[in-house]
Structure 1
Amino acid sequence: MKLSDSTVSRLDETQRLRFERCLNKFKDVLQSANIDLDALRNLNWLGIPNELPSELRSITWQLLLEYLPCNADRQVKTLARKRQEYFEGVSQAYARGIAGLDQTIWHQIHIDVPRTNPGTILYQCETTQQCLERVLYVWAIRHPASGYVQGINDLVTPFFQVFLSFYIENYDTSCLPKNVLDVIEADSFWCLSKLLDGIQDNYTFAQPGIQRQINKLKDLINRINAPLAAHLQKEGVEYLQFAFRWMNCLLMREMSLKHTIRMWDTYLAERSDGFSVFHLYVCVAFLDKWSDELKTRDFQGIMMFLQSLPTAKWKEQDIELLLSEAYRLKSLYHEAPNHLSRV
């Protein structure tokens, strides 16, 4: 792995040396016969710069999700076995074609997939949509306690895009051979499964995990920003009305996919609770950020603002500040029962 010629050509000498040092730190960890996950988490928490080779994030995410073994000798065989297991699952599920699928599950997935990232050409491509449909359908039938729930379609896209970038930079799936697309699809399935294993009660009946997260969000805002909490209460705003989507889709509807991928670098570095506990504190920091604006609005204005937040022009620095504030809040309030007894 090295910086691409096109990347080097647009960097000055100071920038080039900085990114090369960063890349070398990752390589020092990844080239070990037994990869030190703690060291990898420490590097990944700060994010993988876009200037580094695309395959770096793909490999790192698979390791941090414990899909790819830390032992280098086991990696090739494990990936081959897991990919084959997925292919066999697809063959079994689709043995009688579309007509043989559970029509209720498949119909909802078939409706939702074209709505996923509608402004992005990659996700309007038929080949991509078929890959995502298979991933979501096979996951749903393997997890009958929850089945398919709207929102899960969003969660597969960062994996698909990151793993696709291992092979191509322009995200044109039409130029990829089928065997490569199959690998991307299988890896996306297993990594989505790993993520959802940690937050599955977000998607079981009545979605109790999300209900708990929303209650914790409300409690935290009461503690850290009482004036905002009081204003929301006065205007009759229920947290469920806006925060359900934040928890169900992990803020993906509020952020660009590029920024979601940067956030997930940190979430994956937060061990098993990145997509639950740390995400909660990201939502707290996110709501608190808009406090001054929200306190000037009535119920209708608050809801309209929260449903269309002005994040379209956010830069990576805005994401870094959000993650840093979430880390600060988590350090202060999480596992501090005397300070915040209900969280």
Structure 2
Amino acid sequence: MAAYRTRLRELDEALECDEIDLKKLKQLCFNGIPDEQGRRALCWKLLLNYLPTTRKTWSETLARKRLLYKQFIDEMIITPGSCCQENDGSRVDVTFADHPLNLNPDSQWQTFFKDNEVLLQIDKDVRRLCPDISFFQQATDFPCHEVVQSSGIKRLHKRVQHTILKSANVERKGIGVTKIALSVKKAQEDYAPMPEGSEAHWEVVERILFLYAKLNPGQGYVQGMNEIIGPIYYTFARDPDLSWREHAEADCFFCFTNLMGEIRDFFIKSLDEAECGISGMMGKLGDTLRANDHQVWSRLQQQELRPQYYSFRWLTLLLSQEFHLPDVLRIWDSLFADEKRFGFLIHICCSMIILLRDQLLKGDFPANVKLLQFQVSSNWKLKGSPQPCMLKSGKVKNKEWITLSQF
């Protein structure tokens, strides 16, 4: 416990410096960031290059970024047929000479329909975000003013609302009167939207992802990005400091954008076979496994069980689907703090395989595929008290590997 308090003091001292030593901060964060008093949220903003290392510039940086995000909402979430005000205060139809069947590429309606194709996938994904916890279904304390004050016009889920189906059952008995029973069935929703004036956390995440897709047309939205943004938003939106929590949406957008700048190659299909793409990462995982446990690597080679069969999700989603959320946050502390960020991810994935070595050496191909694809998280969990964990080195046949253990 004394060691824990010492680390807390060292971390606080590092964060309070006028000029933050990023290298030292990374060393401290690599061993786990305490969740108390918003330390994790603040450290992630620094580690993801959102906040500068000079503290006196934070106010200006945050004000500028948050204002920019509001402009994104105003300019990019547009409903065709809505009205705006001219400088003289008069209201005019912004879609004059425009209509839903207009094929002009500059038509707001064409943009609207195209955006809705992307939004439909985002909406489906965010409604299933972190189903093990109720957080994303709950209302945020700080709904977006630009959305709420527009009487809900800018609420994105309305653009892809689930269809209401009406059906009638006709029943005839003998020669008597035909009986018709009307029923209304609504498509099942994972997370229901909040009433007007409120927003659920998943609705906020939906807006962030939609804006990201609009601002990055070369990449757009790819399924799985919701699993990357989820832990970041969760961390920021639970900050005990209200002044930070109020702007969790804007801060999350820029941190997510910076992180995607580092891992976007994993989500671009044309780069799959490039060294920086996902195939290159899976190749590095295979090489690391061979160097650390040749027997397990040989067994998987004999069975032709390639990393492509089980590690694609591990690497692209930074293990966010393999562990419960508290463990994901702990792992990401180290990933974000590591100088060779995604090299360390390879070592974690390698350790996950090595910890299953006895079962893998005994199992046949179907058993091993199932074990690696579906049972990793149940075999390898972070256990113990809510105190942060640290990463320690271990030895497997004189080869170094990485495992997570209690701090």
- TM-score of the superposition, structure 1-length normalised? 0.80
**Residue 296 (1) aligns with residue 362 (2):** yes
1:155 counterpart residue number: 228
The structure 2 residue matched to 1:60, chosen from 33, 36, 43, is 43
Q: 1:252 to 1:207 in 2, by over 3 A?
A: farther
Any gaps of 5 or more consecutive residues in structure 2?
81-107, 139-192, 194-199, 403-407
Partner Cα separation in structure 1 for residue 120 and residue 7 of structure 2 = 45
Greater displacement, 299-308 / 314-323: 314-323
Deviation per CA, 1:251-296, whole angstroms, max 9, x where unpaired? 111111101111111111113x41x222122111221221111111
2:20 counterpart residue number: 35
2:211 counterpart residue number: 138
Preserved CA contact (<8 Å) 1:145 1:204: no
2:261 counterpart residue number: 197
Preserved CA contact (<8 Å) 2:48 2:336: yes
Preserved CA contact (<8 Å) 2:31 2:391: no
Deviation per CA, 1:157-198, whole angstroms, max 9, x where unpaired? 111111122138xxxxxxx9xx97661111111111111111
Letter in 2 for 1:315: L
Aligned residue pairs, count: 302
Cα offset, 1:236, TM superposition: 2.9
1:119 counterpart residue number: 132
**Residue 109 (1) aligns with residue 118 (2):** no
Letter in 2 for 1:132: V
Cα offset, 1:234, TM superposition: 2.3
Partner Cα separation in structure 1 for residue 10 and residue 128 of structure 2 = 39
Q: 1:182 to 1:102 in 2, by over 3 A?
A: farther
- Alignment root-mean-square deviation, CA: 2.8
Partner Cα separation in structure 1 for residue 248 and residue 280 of structure 2 = 34
Preserved CA contact (<8 Å) 2:126 2:205: yes
**Residue 82 (1) aligns with residue 65 (2):** yes
Preserved CA contact (<8 Å) 1:33 1:72: yes
Cα offset, 1:75, TM superposition: 0.2
SS at match of 1:199: helix
Partner Cα separation in structure 2 for residue 316 and residue 36 of structure 1 = 31
Partner Cα separation in structure 1 for residue 253 and residue 202 of structure 2 = 14
Q: Identity, % of aligned pairs?
A: 27
Preserved CA contact (<8 Å) 1:282 1:322: no
1:227 counterpart residue number: 295
Cα offset, 1:328, TM superposition: 4.5
2:88 counterpart residue number: none
2:317 counterpart residue number: 249
**Residue 25 (1) aligns with residue 21 (2):** no
SS at match of 1:147: coil
Partner Cα separation in structure 2 for residue 27 and residue 289 of structure 1 = 35
Q: 1:206 to 1:309 in 2, by over 3 A?
A: farther
**Residue 184 (1) aligns with residue 248 (2):** yes
Q: 1:143 to 1:298 in 2, by over 3 A?
A: same
The structure 1 residue matched to 2:79, chosen from 96, 105, 109, is 96
Cα offset, 1:213, TM superposition: 0.5
The structure 1 residue matched to 2:29, chosen from 44, 49, 66, is 44
Letter in 1 for 2:336: L
Cα offset, 1:139, TM superposition: 1.2
Q: 1:80 to 1:325 in 2, by over 3 A?
A: farther
Deviation per CA, 1:112-148, whole angstroms, max 9, x where unpaired? 1112211211123441111111111111222222211
Is the radius of gyration larger for structure 1 or structure 2? 2
Q: 1:254 to 1:323 in 2, by over 3 A?
A: farther
2:52 counterpart residue number: 69
Any gaps of 5 or more consecutive residues in structure 1?
1-14, 169-175, 331-343
**Residue 307 (1) aligns with residue 373 (2):** yes
Partner Cα separation in structure 1 for residue 56 and residue 18 of structure 2 = 7
Partner Cα separation in structure 2 for residue 296 and residue 322 of structure 1 = 29
Partner Cα separation in structure 2 for residue 233 and residue 239 of structure 1 = 10
Q: Is the strand fraction higher in 1 or 2?
A: 2
1:267 counterpart residue number: 335
Preserved CA contact (<8 Å) 2:314 2:349: yes
Runs of 4+ aligned structure 1 residues displaced above 4 Å come to 179-182, 316-323, 325-330
Partner Cα separation in structure 2 for residue 45 and residue 133 of structure 1 = 30
Letter in 1 for 2:127: P
Partner Cα separation in structure 1 for residue 22 and residue 119 of structure 2 = 37
Partner Cα separation in structure 2 for residue 242 and residue 310 of structure 1 = 10
Cα offset, 1:153, TM superposition: 0.6
Partner Cα separation in structure 1 for residue 294 and residue 228 of structure 2 = 33
Partner Cα separation in structure 2 for residue 81 and residue 113 of structure 1 = 28
Q: 1:246 to 1:325 in 2, by over 3 A?
A: farther
Greater displacement, 199-208 / 126-135: 199-208
